[in-house]
Amino acid sequence: MGTWDIGPFDSDTAADFSYRVDEAHAEKKAEVLRAAFREVTATGDDYLDSDLAVEAIASAALVAAQCPGGEPVTTAYGPKEPLPELPAELRPLAVAALDRVLEPDSELLELWEESDGEEWKAGIRKLRAVLAGA
Q: How far is CA 102 from the centre of its chain?
A: 12
Residue 2 has pLDDT above 90, yes or no: no
Cα–Cα separations (whole angstroms), residue 38 to 9, 66, 78, 102: 19, 20, 21, 15
Beta-bridge partner residues of 3? 11
Task: Report helix angle 29-41 to 50-64, nearest 10.
Answer: 130
pLDDT digits (tens, 9 = 90+) for 106-120: 999 999 998 878 999
The secondary structure of the chain, three-state, reads CCECCCCCCCEHHHHHHHHHHHHCCHHHHHHHHHHHHHHHHCCCCCCECHHHHHHHHHHHHHHHCCCCCCCCCCCCCCCCCCCCCCCCCHHHHHHHHHHHHCCCCEHHHHHHHCCCHHHHHHHHHHHHHHHHHC
- pTM (predicted TM-score): 0.95
Report the chain's mean pLDDT, rounded to a whole number.
Answer: 94
Could you tell me the pLDDT band of residue 4, with boundaries at 50, 70 and 90?
confident
